[in-house]
Amino acid sequence: MRRPSADARAAHDAAKILPIAAAVLLLPPFILVFATPATIAGVPLIVVYVFAAWAVIVLAAWLVARRVELDSPDGPPDVGEPPPADAR
């Protein structure tokens, strides 16, 4: 049996931690830090924080998913290939 590499384990660990980190970033204690009357280009700072946190979470999820997929034993799926006839 092949043991997963350190990079594969790190990618799987990141996939487990990412939802927790995302939830923490969007909890009210963190969001309320940015609830000030300050604005950036006329947009309240709290709105900028929420959308920036959301964008970082989505980007991180995409990167982690890509890494986990590449480290899978089967490799990445063949895109555009029809499924085998006996798969039905």
Question: What is the spatial distance between Cα 69 and Cα 62, in angstroms, rounded to a whole number?
Answer: 11
Question: What is the spatial distance between Cα 15 and Cα 59, in angstroms, rounded to a whole number?
Answer: 13
pLDDT at 77: 58
Residue 57 has pLDDT above 70, yes or no: yes
Question: What is the spatial distance between Cα 68 and Cα 66, in angstroms, rounded to a whole number?
Answer: 6
pLDDT at 1: 46
To the nearest whole percent, how much of the chain has pLDDT over 90? 49
pLDDT at 3: 60
